[in-house]
């Protein structure tokens, strides 16, 4: 068997998705996430697809994995007991955060609580200037006493962040060396100059703390998974999906697990990118809805927006600035607590609310029959006829429709005096409005015309809600790809092996020192290449360089692509021109006679991926025969109606029919609204087009 056989696993809050590809064929499956020991769910799912395909574990060439475990550990505060060590005088920087308020009008705002309490934040005598001058020598004599305190507190992780260590790391490295010798071997020690070597102390310190906080748990999980793989007979490389859309090795993931935050959703963005290229779509809205959350990402010309800052565990769900910031490469998206497991209830103002809390996989929605008592979105979809109770998750889980309807009546119907299917209709309408509002805000903040986008919907829940969401935000065309229910895991198989390194180094374009910049970029390229080279082997390598630029005196930067070549002093003017052109595109002006500079540089080294084949246009049309009918609620009609049920794999390219209808498959179902026409394109994708 060919070693090009690929396996992917995506651990979500409710389901673990598994995909196996070999010889142009694909097998997939969903199993409930085993929260306490996630590797067991992964191994169970692998066993299912191996049995389906009759492929032996030894024949698999590569295993690619993404997970929300790091994110969940941070949100749920289930990381290791962590201490933070910093420069004397800066003990409270994690508490102080930014000097601005994220909500100017709420006098009682609650900020995100730091991961390290003040009692576990320590300082040492040391100080280096931004130029590397020693302003205060490191007091090594105090480190043994500090180690004793850490031992007595039974600390399992230590984060070290000193002033200006992004440029001069000698003191951080020395403290790590001393503490490593003095503390038990199982104590994790992370330094900010390795985790996030960038300016802005609060964000750098917050990132190294988050990395230390989740590292013991993530390292333990990843190493257990490696052992389970060996026990199963999977003798192949294991790569981890990172939040920036690239793959990295197990060793790097163990060192920097903070880079795995949002790794699952990143796979979905990669899938959307490929589909946008195949279908020649200039503006795309990627809609990924799973069991716990919904993720919305915007793409332009096949490329998702990217950033190097992300907020975790926001105290206010939709309020920027209310969470814990981390400086990591990340695909820009908005994520809200709107998934199949999101719990529905009536609040004190007699309003239906949905999420952000989720029933997860245990106990799950009421209809799972695993002990859940509060109704969730899946219960509402079941009550509205959108889900076949006998064939949920490919028939692996039989749903209890009667229990779901009873729970919806008790929690929603009785308090609001709603009868029949209306409690369920109210729940789905609210969750769809929540997602629509998040999509509108995300598009406005990034200058996209959301109505001009084509929606690409995937994940177990997105095809159930895509038509109604599209109606709310004005989108006219929706694409449901093959394998939509396990879309993120499929995206993992399309991702390049890549690694991004960042360094803060202020360089004036008007006084451009090309030699210094070339030395910096050369070293960064070598460091990034050293991470990916063992995994890339004979694949072609691409390099991308980005500079974060601003006018001197400004507090924020914009990203500018830098030519990959040996720079000369005259390139300073060219880089400034590139910056000013982009600045004018973003802000509508440029500042004349103002000096500009690059503050932070990033280098990404990655393997080159194959370009997808474009979809072919076809004028052939056929009317398929449904396999049956089911009573569903259509919100556009405001009533229930008998709708034909089609089996997706019966539908050939050219199939064409009008909604309302249901297109069922193993991992999800696509609800074709009354105002949409459905057709199948040459790639087997469902194309839903508004007829209004």
Together in a domain, 514 and 663 = no
505: in domain? yes
Query: Do 334 and 279 share a structural domain?
Result: yes
| Domain end among 371, 394, 427 | 427
| For residues 168-180, average pLDDT | 95
- Our CA angle for 607, 524, 205, nearest 5°, is 110
Q: Do 103 and 154 belong together in one domain?
A: yes
Residue at 364 is within a domain: yes
According to the model, what pLDDT value does residue 358 have? 84
Domain extent, residue 88, equals 79-217
314 pLDDT above the threshold of 80:
no
pLDDT score of 139: 93
- Overall average pLDDT of the 20-24 stretch: 88
The rounded distance, in Å, linking the Cα atoms of 597 and 595 is 7
Record the tokens describing residue 610, joined without a space.
Answer: 């194959």
For residue 424, name the pLDDT band (cuts at 50, 70, 90).
Answer: very high
pLDDT, tens only, 553-582? 998 899 999 999 999 999 999 999 999 999
- pLDDT of residue 450 exceeding 60: yes
Among 449, 438, 9, 404, which Cα is nearest to 234's? Answer: 9
- Average pLDDT for residues 421-431, to the nearest whole number? 94
196 neighbors 207 (Cβ within 8 angstroms): yes
Whether residues 167 and 19 share a domain: the answer is no
Nearest to 335, CA basis, from 239, 234, 424, 439: 439
Question: Quick one: pLDDT at residue 2?
Answer: 46
Domain shared by 309 and 286, yes or no:
yes
- Whether 683 is covered by a domain: the verdict is no
Q: How high does pLDDT run on average in the chain?
A: 90
519 in the same domain as 602: yes
The pLDDT confidence band at residue 390, using thresholds 50, 70 and 90, is confident
On whether both 233 and 328 belong to a single domain, the answer is: no
Nearest by Cα to 409 from 368, 380, 369: 380
30, pLDDT greater than 90: no
Q: What is the pLDDT of residue 120?
A: 97
Band (pLDDT 50/70/90 cuts) for residue 1 is very low
- 226 in the same domain as 200: no
Torsions phi, psi of 63, nearest 5?
-125, 125
Q: Residue 9 and residue 34: Cα distance in Å, rounded?
A: 13
Shared-domain flag, residues 350 and 271: no
Residue 34 belongs to domain with CATH number: 3.30.420.40
pLDDT for res 81: 96
CA angle 430, 478, 300 (to 5 degrees): 100
Query: Are 279 and 392 found together in one domain?
Result: no
* CATH code (residue 566): 3.30.1490
Domain count, the chain: 6
What 3 state SS string does 187-243 have? CEEEEHHHHCCCCCHHHHHHHHHHHHHHHHHHHHHHHHHHHHHHHHCCCCCEEEECC
Confidence band for 3, pLDDT divided at 50, 70 and 90: low
pLDDT tens, position by position, 201-232: 999 999 999 999 999 999 999 999 999 999 99
Give me the mean pLDDT over the 458-485 stretch.
93
Burial 429-449 (b: 16+ CB within 10 A, else e): bbbbebbbebbeebbeeeebe
pLDDT score recorded for residue 308 = 84
Residues 306 and 375 in one domain: no
- Write out the DSSP string of 487-555: HHHHHHTTPPBEEEEEEEEEEESTT--HHHHHHHHHHHHHHHHHHHHHHHTTS-EEEEEEEEEEETT-S
């Amino acid at each position: 068997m060919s070693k090009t056989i690929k396996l992917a696993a995506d651990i979500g809050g409710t389901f673990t998705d598994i995909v196996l590809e070999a010889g142009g064929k694909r097998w997939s499956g969903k199993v409930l996430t085993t929260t306490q020991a996630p590797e067991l769910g992964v191994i169970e799912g692998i066993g299912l697809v191996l049995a389906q395909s009759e492929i032996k574990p030894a024949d698999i060439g590569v295993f690619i994995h993404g997970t929300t475990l790091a994110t969940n550990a941070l949100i749920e505060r289930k990381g290791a007991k962590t201490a933070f060590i910093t420069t004397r005088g800066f003990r409270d920087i994690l508490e102080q955060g930014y000097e601005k308020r994220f909500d100017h009008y709420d006098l009682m705002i609650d900020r995100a609580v730091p991961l390290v309490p003040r009692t576990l934040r320590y300082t040492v005598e040391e100080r280096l200037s931004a130029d590397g001058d020693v302003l205060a020598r490191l007091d090594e004599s105090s480190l043994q006493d500090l180690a004793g305190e850490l031992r007595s507190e039974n600390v399992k992780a230590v984060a070290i962040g000193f002033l200006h260590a992004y440029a001069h790391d000698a003191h951080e490295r020395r403290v790590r060396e001393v503490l490593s010798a003095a503390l038990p071997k199982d104590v994790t020690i992370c330094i900010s100059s390795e985790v996030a070597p960038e300016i802005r102390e609060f964000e750098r310190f917050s990132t190294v703390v988050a990395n230390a906080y989740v590292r013991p748990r993530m390292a333990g999980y990843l190493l257990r998974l490696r052992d389970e793989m060996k026990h199963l007979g999977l003798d192949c490389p294991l790569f981890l999906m990172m939040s920036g859309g690239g793959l990295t090795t197990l060793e790097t993931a163990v060192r920097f697990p903070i880079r795995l935050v949002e790794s699952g959703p990143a796979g979905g963005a990669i899938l959307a990118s490929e589909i946008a290229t195949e279908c020649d779509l200039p503006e795309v809205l990627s809609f990924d809805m799973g069991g716990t959350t919904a993720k919305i990402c915007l793409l332009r010309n096949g490329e998702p927006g990217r950033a190097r800052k992300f907020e975790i565990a926001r105290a206010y769900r939709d309020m920027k600035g209310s969470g814990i910031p981390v400086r990591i490469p990340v695909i820009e998206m908005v994520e809200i607590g709107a998934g199949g497991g999101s719990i529905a209830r009536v609040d004190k103002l007699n309003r239906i609310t949905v999420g952000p809390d989720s029933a997860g996989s245990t106990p799950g929605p009421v209809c799972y029959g695993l002990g859940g008592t509060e109704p969730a979105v899946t219960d509402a979809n079941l009550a509205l006829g959108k889900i076949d109770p006998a064939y949920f998750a490919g028939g692996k889980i039989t749903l209890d429709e009667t229990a779901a309807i009873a729970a919806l009546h008790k929690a929603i119907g009785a308090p609001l005096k709603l009868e029949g299917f209306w409690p369920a209709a109210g729940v789905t309408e609210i969750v769809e409005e929540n997602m629509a509002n998040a999509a509108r805000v995300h598009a406005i903040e990034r200058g996209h015309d959301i109505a001009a986008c084509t929606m690409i919907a995937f994940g177990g829940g997105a095809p159930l809600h895509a038509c109604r969401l599209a109606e709310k935000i004005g989108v006219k065309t929706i694409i449901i790809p093959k394998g939509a229910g396990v879309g993120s895991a499929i995206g993992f198989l399309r991702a390049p092996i890549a690694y991004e390194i960042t360094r803060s180094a202020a360089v004036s374009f008007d006084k451009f020192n090309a030699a210094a910049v070339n030395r910096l970029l050369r070293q960064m390229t070598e460091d990034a290449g050293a991470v990916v080279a063992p995994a890339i082997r004979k694949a072609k390598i691409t390099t991308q360089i980005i500079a974060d630029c601003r006018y001197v005196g400004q507090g924020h930067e914009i990203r500018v692509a830098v030519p990959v070549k040996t720079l000369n002093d005259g390139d300073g003017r060219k880089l400034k021109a590139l910056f000013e052109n982009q600045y004018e595109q973003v802000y509508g002006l440029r500042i004349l006679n103002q000096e500009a500079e690059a503050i932070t540089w990033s280098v990404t080294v990655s393997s080159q991926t194959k370009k997808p084949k474009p979809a072919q246009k076809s004028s052939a049309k056929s009317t398929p025969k449904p396999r049956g009918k089911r009573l569903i609620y259509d919100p556009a009609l405001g009533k229930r109606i008998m709708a034909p049920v089609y089996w997706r794999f019966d539908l050939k390219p050219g199939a064409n029919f009008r909604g309302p209808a249901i297109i069922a498959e193993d991992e999800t179902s696509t609800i074709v609204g009354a105002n949409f026409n459905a057709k199948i394109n040459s790639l087997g994708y469902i194309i839903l087009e508004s007829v209004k």
